[in-house]
């Protein structure tokens, strides 16, 4: 989004209805444009905050990425495009008609609109959940220019993240052993599904795992060690989420 001496803009709120019959909508994004095409921007809610269902997260992520792509580069057609989207979408996905707003600074205005209409308060420790970590992993890959698909099936197996590369797709599984849970058997089942799927599909993969903190319950450490050992036996690399975010994962070597 470019920053200029703009005083007038228009914004729309994107709403998602999981159940149309109940008409219970959730604000999931905000779009800000101006009539002259000097700036445009889209701020979206993280998919992990929209649903616990992995496949639905992937579906919504695809919609939101498509919306971002339409306003990636500012043009004089942005306001007309936004009005057209608002007029033609309905039912599960709804975009409110553009409303005028003062824009002393485009980025700060977009952030303020997101905070007012979309953002929800998060509890302590939420940044280490599987969903929140997946948000960061996906953002890290996209920041490096990769096309990323979230919660996607390949054959009969669903993967947290699929990274499209010139060498072929890379499957990623995201796990967290720093959530404070006492039972980590679901994470072990997930790891087994992931490794079995890689073997059956002959697909390269990487496990992105948040390890347990030093003061965690001994079951968390034991389960983490078990999953790390399984990955080693299958020759699947294990990386921490911060390594992905800091571009310390060479995808050509996976």
- CA 183/CA 201 separation, integer angstroms: 29
Task: Tell me the percentage of the chain whose pLDDT exceeds 90.
Answer: 41
Q: What is the DSSP string of the chain?
A: ----S--EEEEEEEEE-S-TTTT--EEEEEEEE-TTSS-EEEEE--GGGT-S-HHHHHHHHHHHHHHHHHTSS--TTHHHHHHHHHHH--TTEEEPPPEEEE-SSHHHHHHHHHHHHT-----TTGGGSHHHHHHHHHHHHHHTT-EEEEEEEETTEEEEEEEE-TT--EEEEEEES-S--S--HHHHHHHHHHHHHHHHHT--EEEEEEPPPTTS-HHHHHHHHHHHHHHHHTT--EE-HHHHHTT---GGG-
Token pair for 14: 């994107």
28 to 40, 47, 48, 160: CA distances (angstroms): 17, 9, 11, 20
What is 126-253's CATH topology?
A: Trna Endonuclease; Chain: A, domain 1 (3.40.1350)
C-alpha distances out from residue 184 to 156, 171, 242, Å? 24, 22, 22
Q: Report whether pLDDT(6) > 90.
A: no
Q: What are the tens digits of pLDDT across the range 214-252?
A: 766 788 889 999 999 999 999 999 999 888 766 666 666
Residue 94 in tokens: 């709804």
What pLDDT is attached to residue 2? 47
CA distance 44 to 52: 17
Which pTM does this prediction carry? Answer: 0.72
Distance of CA 40 to the CA centre of its chain: 21
Instruction: Give the pLDDT of residue 143.
Output: 87
Average pLDDT across the chain, whole number: 85
Q: Report which of residues 251 and 174 the model is more confident about.
A: 174
Closest by CA to 193, choosing from 181, 210, 205, is 205
| Domain chopping of the chain, boundaries | 8-117, 126-253
Among 42, 40, 50, smallest CA distance to 17 is for 50
pLDDT band at 76 (very low <50, low <70, confident <90, very high): confident
pLDDT at 216: 66
Give the best-scoring range by mean pLDDT among 69-78, 81-90, 155-164: 155-164
Q: What pLDDT is recorded for position 126?
A: 58
Q: What is the pLDDT of residues 111-168, one digit of tens each?
A: 999 999 998 765 545 568 888 899 989 988 988 889 999 988 899 899 999 999 988 9
């Amino acid at each position: 989004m470019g920053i200029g001496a703009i005083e007038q803009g228009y914004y729309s709120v994107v709403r998602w209805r999981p159940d149309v019959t109940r008409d219970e909508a959730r604000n999931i994004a905000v779009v800000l444009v101006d009539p002259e095409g000097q700036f445009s921007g889209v701020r979206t809610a993280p998919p992990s905050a929209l649903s616990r269902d992995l496949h639905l997260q992937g579906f919504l992520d695809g919609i939101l990425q498509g919306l971002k792509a339409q306003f990636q580069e500012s043009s004089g057609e942005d306001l007309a495009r936004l009005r057209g989207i608002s007029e033609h979408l309905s039912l599960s996905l709804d975009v409110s008609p553009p409303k005028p707003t003062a824009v002393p600074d485009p980025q700060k205005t977009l952030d303020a609109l997101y905070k007012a209409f979309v953002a929800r308060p998060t509890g302590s420790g939420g940044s280490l959940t599987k969903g929140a970590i997946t948000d960061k992993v996906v953002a890290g890959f996209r920041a490096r220019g990769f096309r990323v698909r979230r919660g996607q099936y390949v054959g009969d197996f669903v993967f947290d993240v699929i990274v499209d590369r010139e060498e072929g797709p890379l499957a990623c599984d995201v796990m967290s052993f720093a959530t404070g849970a006492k039972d980590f058997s679901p994470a072990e089942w997930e790891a087994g599904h992931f490794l079995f799927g890689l073997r059956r599909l002959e697909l390269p993969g990487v496990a992105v795992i948040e390890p347990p903190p030093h003061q965690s319950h001994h079951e968390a450490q034991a389960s983490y060690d078990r999953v790390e050992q399984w990955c080693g036996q299958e020759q699947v690399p294990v990386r921490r989420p911060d390594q992905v975010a800091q571009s310390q994962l060479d995808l050509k070597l996976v």
